[in-house]
């Protein structure tokens, strides 16, 4: 509801609370990426995806799904020279 109402701060907080209990949850991570993108925070969204992918690999959970990175609209934004928002 917070996201639908445009309350990006509350929506981000709610997603982060969910990710505290399940930090690798793909659906929650995609929602958080979408919230950052809705707020125009492209750099933050890209850093979030990079961090999530790194955690998945570091914890030995295999290769991360491409679905989260696909939310950014590019297969690999790190090669596009995006700067932090």
What confidence tens digit (pLDDT) does each residue in 7-33 have?
788 889 999 999 999 999 999 999 999
pLDDT surpasses 90 at 72: yes
Report the predicted TM-score, pTM, of the whole model to 2 decimal places.
Answer: 0.76
pLDDT surpasses 50 at 82: no
Distance CA 41, CA 18 (A): 20
Query: With the CA atoms of 20, 51, 55 and 75 taken in that order, what torsion angle do they form, in degrees rounded to the nearest 10?
Result: 120
Q: What is the pLDDT of residue 80?
A: 36
């Amino acid at each position: 509801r917070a996201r639908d109402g445009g309350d990006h701060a509350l929506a981000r907080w709610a997603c982060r609370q969910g990710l505290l209990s399940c930090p690798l949850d793909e659906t929650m991570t995609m929602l958080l990426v979408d919230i950052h993108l809705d707020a125009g925070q492209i750099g933050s969204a890209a850093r979030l995806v990079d961090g999530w992918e790194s955690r998945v690999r570091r914890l030995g959970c295999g290769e991360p799904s491409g679905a989260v990175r696909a939310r950014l609209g590019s297969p690999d934004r790190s090669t596009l020279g995006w700067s932090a928002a």
